[in-house]
Amino acid sequence: MNSNHWVIKWGKTKNDKQCWYCKECQHFFIWKKKKAHHKKWFLDWLGGMSAKQVAEKVSKSTKTIQREINFFLKIPPKPKIIPNKKAHLLIDGTYFKRENCLIIYHDRDLKHHQLWSYVKGEKKYQIESDLRELKRAGVDLFSATTDGNAAVRSALLKVYPKAIHQRCLVHIQRFAEIHLTKNPKTKAGRELKEIVSCLNFLNSHLAKRTFLGRLERWKGNYLNFLKEKTYSEDRSFWWYTHRNLRRVIFHIESALPDMFRYLIHKEIPKDTNGLEGRFKDLKHKFADHGGLKKEKRTSYFSWYLTLKNQK
Protein backbone atom coordinates (compact mmCIF):
# COMPACT_ATOMS: atom_id res chain seq x y z
CA MET A 1 0.00 0.00 0.00
CA ASN A 2 1.41 3.42 -0.95
CA SER A 3 1.96 5.87 1.93
CA ASN A 4 -0.10 8.51 0.03
CA HIS A 5 -3.25 6.39 0.04
CA TRP A 6 -6.24 7.72 1.93
CA VAL A 7 -6.55 5.73 5.14
CA ILE A 8 -9.31 6.12 7.73
CA LYS A 9 -10.21 4.43 11.00
CA TRP A 10 -12.83 1.69 10.69
CA GLY A 11 -13.96 0.34 14.02
CA LYS A 12 -12.17 -2.33 16.05
CA THR A 13 -11.61 -6.05 15.81
CA LYS A 14 -12.90 -8.70 18.24
CA ASN A 15 -9.57 -8.41 20.03
CA ASP A 16 -10.14 -4.69 20.48
CA LYS A 17 -7.47 -3.71 17.96
CA GLN A 18 -7.95 -0.64 15.76
CA CYS A 19 -9.01 -1.51 12.22
CA TRP A 20 -8.16 0.75 9.27
CA TYR A 21 -9.62 1.10 5.77
CA CYS A 22 -7.86 2.29 2.60
CA LYS A 23 -10.35 3.87 0.21
CA GLU A 24 -8.06 3.52 -2.78
CA CYS A 25 -7.06 -0.09 -2.19
CA GLN A 26 -10.43 -0.92 -0.64
CA HIS A 27 -8.73 -3.12 1.96
CA PHE A 28 -9.17 -3.38 5.70
CA PHE A 29 -6.02 -3.89 7.74
CA ILE A 30 -4.42 -3.60 11.17
CA TRP A 31 -1.20 -1.65 11.69
CA LYS A 32 1.48 -3.98 12.92
CA LYS A 33 4.61 -2.74 14.58
CA LYS A 34 7.80 -4.21 13.23
CA LYS A 35 9.07 -6.67 15.80
CA ALA A 36 12.32 -5.58 17.43
CA HIS A 37 14.88 -8.30 18.02
CA HIS A 38 17.17 -8.05 21.03
CA LYS A 39 20.68 -8.90 19.94
CA LYS A 40 22.03 -8.24 23.43
CA TRP A 41 20.07 -11.24 24.75
CA PHE A 42 21.54 -13.41 22.01
CA LEU A 43 25.07 -12.20 22.75
CA ASP A 44 24.65 -13.06 26.44
CA TRP A 45 23.65 -16.57 25.43
CA LEU A 46 26.50 -16.76 22.91
CA GLY A 47 28.91 -15.79 25.69
CA GLY A 48 28.02 -18.86 27.74
CA MET A 49 24.80 -18.04 29.59
CA SER A 50 21.89 -20.47 29.30
CA ALA A 51 18.53 -19.30 27.90
CA LYS A 52 17.11 -19.59 31.42
CA GLN A 53 19.86 -17.39 32.88
CA VAL A 54 19.30 -14.75 30.19
CA ALA A 55 15.55 -14.87 30.84
CA GLU A 56 16.07 -14.28 34.56
CA LYS A 57 18.49 -11.43 33.82
CA VAL A 58 16.05 -9.52 31.58
CA SER A 59 12.82 -10.65 33.30
CA LYS A 60 11.43 -12.47 30.27
CA SER A 61 10.20 -15.99 29.71
CA THR A 62 12.68 -18.67 28.62
CA LYS A 63 10.47 -19.27 25.60
CA THR A 64 10.88 -15.64 24.51
CA ILE A 65 14.66 -15.80 24.88
CA GLN A 66 14.83 -19.08 22.97
CA ARG A 67 12.80 -17.52 20.17
CA GLU A 68 15.31 -14.66 19.93
CA ILE A 69 18.24 -17.10 19.95
CA ASN A 70 16.70 -19.12 17.10
CA PHE A 71 16.08 -15.94 15.10
CA PHE A 72 19.76 -14.96 15.13
CA LEU A 73 20.99 -18.53 14.58
CA LYS A 74 19.00 -18.56 11.32
CA ILE A 75 20.98 -15.59 9.97
CA PRO A 76 24.65 -16.44 10.59
CA PRO A 77 27.19 -13.84 9.43
CA LYS A 78 29.60 -14.78 6.65
CA PRO A 79 33.38 -14.46 7.02
CA LYS A 80 34.75 -11.12 5.84
CA ILE A 81 37.99 -11.71 3.97
CA ILE A 82 40.42 -8.78 4.03
CA PRO A 83 42.89 -8.67 1.10
CA ASN A 84 46.51 -9.02 2.18
CA LYS A 85 49.46 -9.04 -0.23
CA LYS A 86 51.83 -10.70 2.26
CA ALA A 87 49.76 -12.83 4.59
CA HIS A 88 51.10 -15.03 7.37
CA LEU A 89 48.31 -17.49 8.13
CA LEU A 90 47.82 -19.77 11.10
CA ILE A 91 45.82 -22.80 9.94
CA ASP A 92 44.49 -25.21 12.50
CA GLY A 93 41.43 -27.30 13.27
CA THR A 94 39.75 -28.63 16.39
CA TYR A 95 37.12 -31.34 16.79
CA PHE A 96 33.81 -31.14 18.60
CA LYS A 97 32.34 -34.39 19.93
CA ARG A 98 34.68 -36.26 17.56
CA GLU A 99 32.11 -35.62 14.84
CA ASN A 100 33.04 -32.44 13.00
CA CYS A 101 36.06 -30.22 12.75
CA LEU A 102 36.22 -26.43 12.88
CA ILE A 103 39.09 -25.20 10.67
CA ILE A 104 40.21 -21.60 11.07
CA TYR A 105 42.41 -19.52 8.74
CA HIS A 106 43.78 -16.72 10.92
CA ASP A 107 45.82 -13.80 9.59
CA ARG A 108 48.45 -13.18 12.25
CA ASP A 109 49.36 -9.66 11.08
CA LEU A 110 45.79 -8.41 10.67
CA LYS A 111 44.69 -10.31 13.80
CA HIS A 112 41.68 -11.40 11.80
CA HIS A 113 39.96 -14.74 11.17
CA GLN A 114 39.88 -14.61 7.38
CA LEU A 115 37.83 -17.77 6.91
CA TRP A 116 36.51 -20.82 8.74
CA SER A 117 34.80 -24.10 7.88
CA TYR A 118 32.85 -26.51 10.06
CA VAL A 119 33.21 -29.84 8.26
CA LYS A 120 33.60 -33.59 8.71
CA GLY A 121 37.37 -33.41 9.05
CA GLU A 122 40.58 -31.85 7.75
CA LYS A 123 40.11 -33.13 4.20
CA LYS A 124 42.30 -31.97 1.33
CA TYR A 125 39.40 -31.02 -0.98
CA GLN A 126 37.83 -28.82 1.70
CA ILE A 127 41.06 -27.05 2.62
CA GLU A 128 41.95 -26.61 -1.04
CA SER A 129 38.52 -25.05 -1.65
CA ASP A 130 38.98 -22.69 1.31
CA LEU A 131 42.45 -21.63 0.15
CA ARG A 132 41.16 -20.92 -3.35
CA GLU A 133 38.44 -18.73 -1.87
CA LEU A 134 41.08 -16.79 0.06
CA LYS A 135 43.19 -16.43 -3.07
CA ARG A 136 40.25 -15.11 -5.13
CA ALA A 137 39.53 -12.57 -2.37
CA GLY A 138 43.05 -11.11 -2.59
CA VAL A 139 44.96 -13.02 0.09
CA ASP A 140 48.49 -13.59 -1.20
CA LEU A 141 50.06 -16.14 1.10
CA PHE A 142 53.68 -15.65 2.17
CA SER A 143 53.69 -18.29 4.92
CA ALA A 144 51.40 -20.78 6.64
CA THR A 145 52.01 -22.18 10.11
CA THR A 146 50.28 -25.53 10.62
CA ASP A 147 50.40 -28.67 12.74
CA GLY A 148 51.81 -30.62 9.80
CA ASN A 149 48.55 -32.27 8.74
CA ALA A 150 49.17 -34.01 5.39
CA ALA A 151 45.93 -32.71 3.86
CA VAL A 152 46.84 -29.12 4.74
CA ARG A 153 50.36 -29.49 3.31
CA SER A 154 49.04 -30.99 0.10
CA ALA A 155 46.38 -28.28 -0.34
CA LEU A 156 48.95 -25.53 0.27
CA LEU A 157 51.27 -26.95 -2.41
CA LYS A 158 48.36 -27.03 -4.86
CA VAL A 159 47.00 -23.51 -4.28
CA TYR A 160 50.01 -21.60 -2.92
CA PRO A 161 53.05 -23.53 -4.21
CA LYS A 162 55.47 -20.69 -3.38
CA ALA A 163 54.22 -20.15 0.19
CA ILE A 164 56.60 -21.03 3.03
CA HIS A 165 55.37 -23.81 5.31
CA GLN A 166 56.28 -23.57 9.01
CA ARG A 167 55.60 -26.48 11.34
CA CYS A 168 54.05 -25.48 14.66
CA LEU A 169 56.71 -26.15 17.31
CA VAL A 170 54.12 -26.39 20.09
CA HIS A 171 52.36 -29.25 18.28
CA ILE A 172 55.65 -31.12 17.86
CA GLN A 173 56.53 -30.61 21.52
CA ARG A 174 53.07 -31.70 22.63
CA PHE A 175 53.23 -34.83 20.47
CA ALA A 176 56.53 -35.76 22.13
CA GLU A 177 55.22 -35.13 25.65
CA ILE A 178 52.13 -37.29 25.04
CA HIS A 179 54.14 -40.27 23.79
CA LEU A 180 57.05 -39.93 26.21
CA THR A 181 54.61 -39.43 29.15
CA LYS A 182 55.12 -37.11 32.09
CA ASN A 183 57.70 -39.41 33.70
CA PRO A 184 59.51 -41.56 31.08
CA LYS A 185 60.58 -44.94 32.44
CA THR A 186 63.76 -45.24 30.41
CA LYS A 187 66.94 -43.13 30.42
CA ALA A 188 66.54 -42.64 26.66
CA GLY A 189 63.01 -41.32 27.17
CA ARG A 190 64.08 -38.89 29.88
CA GLU A 191 66.95 -37.54 27.78
CA LEU A 192 64.78 -37.12 24.68
CA LYS A 193 62.12 -35.32 26.68
CA GLU A 194 64.72 -32.89 28.00
CA ILE A 195 65.97 -32.20 24.47
CA VAL A 196 62.47 -31.59 23.09
CA SER A 197 61.41 -29.42 26.06
CA CYS A 198 63.52 -26.50 24.78
CA LEU A 199 62.14 -26.68 21.23
CA ASN A 200 59.82 -23.68 21.43
CA PHE A 201 62.57 -21.50 22.92
CA LEU A 202 65.05 -21.77 20.06
CA ASN A 203 65.55 -18.20 18.85
CA SER A 204 68.81 -18.26 16.89
CA HIS A 205 70.75 -20.35 14.39
CA LEU A 206 73.24 -21.19 17.14
CA ALA A 207 70.43 -22.55 19.33
CA LYS A 208 69.15 -24.53 16.34
CA ARG A 209 72.60 -26.11 15.73
CA THR A 210 72.89 -26.97 19.43
CA PHE A 211 69.46 -28.64 19.35
CA LEU A 212 70.28 -30.65 16.22
CA GLY A 213 73.64 -31.67 17.69
CA ARG A 214 72.04 -32.98 20.86
CA LEU A 215 69.45 -34.82 18.78
CA GLU A 216 72.12 -36.50 16.63
CA ARG A 217 74.11 -37.57 19.70
CA TRP A 218 70.96 -39.04 21.24
CA LYS A 219 70.25 -41.02 18.06
CA GLY A 220 73.86 -42.27 18.00
CA ASN A 221 73.69 -43.37 21.65
CA TYR A 222 70.36 -45.16 21.35
CA LEU A 223 70.33 -46.49 17.78
CA ASN A 224 70.49 -50.14 18.87
CA PHE A 225 68.09 -49.45 21.75
CA LEU A 226 65.47 -48.23 19.26
CA LYS A 227 65.89 -51.44 17.23
CA GLU A 228 65.06 -53.74 20.15
CA LYS A 229 62.16 -56.10 19.45
CA THR A 230 59.65 -57.94 21.61
CA TYR A 231 58.34 -61.32 20.42
CA SER A 232 55.09 -63.10 21.12
CA GLU A 233 55.23 -66.31 23.18
CA ASP A 234 55.19 -68.53 20.09
CA ARG A 235 57.48 -66.04 18.28
CA SER A 236 55.03 -65.88 15.39
CA PHE A 237 55.12 -62.09 15.35
CA TRP A 238 57.04 -59.22 16.93
CA TRP A 239 56.92 -55.47 17.54
CA TYR A 240 59.40 -52.77 18.42
CA THR A 241 59.84 -52.63 22.19
CA HIS A 242 60.20 -48.84 22.38
CA ARG A 243 57.50 -47.85 19.90
CA ASN A 244 56.71 -44.50 21.50
CA LEU A 245 60.34 -43.40 21.39
CA ARG A 246 60.47 -44.35 17.71
CA ARG A 247 57.25 -42.40 17.04
CA VAL A 248 58.68 -39.26 18.62
CA ILE A 249 62.05 -39.32 16.88
CA PHE A 250 60.50 -40.11 13.48
CA HIS A 251 57.92 -37.36 14.00
CA ILE A 252 60.66 -34.82 14.69
CA GLU A 253 62.76 -35.97 11.75
CA SER A 254 59.83 -35.69 9.33
CA ALA A 255 59.15 -32.15 10.57
CA LEU A 256 62.78 -30.93 10.42
CA PRO A 257 62.65 -29.48 6.87
CA ASP A 258 59.90 -27.04 7.94
CA MET A 259 60.73 -26.51 11.60
CA PHE A 260 63.07 -23.52 11.44
CA ARG A 261 61.66 -21.29 8.69
CA TYR A 262 61.00 -18.60 11.29
CA LEU A 263 64.74 -18.18 11.95
CA ILE A 264 65.25 -17.04 8.33
CA HIS A 265 62.07 -14.96 8.08
CA LYS A 266 61.55 -13.35 11.47
CA GLU A 267 57.94 -12.35 10.71
CA ILE A 268 56.79 -15.98 10.36
CA PRO A 269 54.99 -17.25 13.47
CA LYS A 270 56.58 -20.42 14.85
CA ASP A 271 53.41 -21.80 16.44
CA THR A 272 49.60 -21.61 16.28
CA ASN A 273 49.21 -20.58 19.92
CA GLY A 274 46.93 -17.70 18.92
CA LEU A 275 44.38 -20.21 17.64
CA GLU A 276 44.92 -22.65 20.50
CA GLY A 277 43.79 -20.00 22.99
CA ARG A 278 40.76 -19.18 20.85
CA PHE A 279 39.78 -22.86 20.58
CA LYS A 280 40.03 -23.24 24.35
CA ASP A 281 37.76 -20.25 24.98
CA LEU A 282 35.29 -21.37 22.30
CA LYS A 283 35.03 -24.92 23.66
CA HIS A 284 34.51 -23.61 27.17
CA LYS A 285 31.58 -21.43 26.06
CA PHE A 286 30.18 -24.00 23.64
CA ALA A 287 30.11 -26.68 26.36
CA ASP A 288 27.03 -24.96 27.80
CA HIS A 289 25.22 -25.37 24.47
CA GLY A 290 26.35 -28.88 23.56
CA GLY A 291 22.84 -29.95 22.60
CA LEU A 292 22.77 -27.76 19.48
CA LYS A 293 21.98 -29.43 16.17
CA LYS A 294 24.72 -29.41 13.54
CA GLU A 295 23.21 -26.59 11.46
CA LYS A 296 22.89 -24.44 14.58
CA ARG A 297 26.43 -25.30 15.64
CA THR A 298 27.72 -23.97 12.32
CA SER A 299 25.82 -20.73 12.92
CA TYR A 300 27.07 -20.53 16.53
CA PHE A 301 30.70 -20.72 15.40
CA SER A 302 30.11 -18.10 12.70
CA TRP A 303 28.65 -15.66 15.23
CA TYR A 304 31.41 -16.34 17.75
CA LEU A 305 34.27 -15.84 15.28
CA THR A 306 32.66 -12.78 13.68
CA LEU A 307 32.31 -11.10 17.07
CA LYS A 308 35.93 -11.92 17.90
CA ASN A 309 36.96 -10.26 14.63
CA GLN A 310 34.97 -7.15 15.53
CA LYS A 311 36.65 -6.94 18.92
Instruction: Write out pLDDT tens, residues 118-172.
Output: 998 889 999 999 999 999 999 999 999 999 999 999 999 999 999 999 999 999 9
- Contact call for residues 147 and 272 (beta carbons, < 8 A): yes
Instruction: Write out pLDDT tens, residues 98-115.
Output: 778 999 999 999 999 999
What does pLDDT average to over the chain?
90
Task: Provide the pLDDT for residue 284.
Answer: 86
Instruction: Write out pLDDT tens, residues 24-76.
Output: 676 766 666 555 678 899 999 998 888 999 999 999 999 999 999 999 999 99
Q: What pTM did the predictor assign?
A: 0.84
Average pLDDT rounded to a whole number, residues 69-95:
94
Counting residues of the chain whose pLDDT is more than 70, the rounded percentage is 93
Amino acid at 140: D
pLDDT at 16 over 70: yes
Average pLDDT rounded to a whole number, residues 265-274:
94
Average pLDDT rounded to a whole number, residues 64-89:
94
pLDDT at 2 over 50: no
Calpha distance 273→117 (Å, rounded): 19
| 39 or 213, greater pLDDT | 213
> What is the DSSP track for 108-163?
TTTTEEEEEEEESS--HHHHHHHHHHHHHTTEEEEEEEE---HHHHHHHHHH-TTS
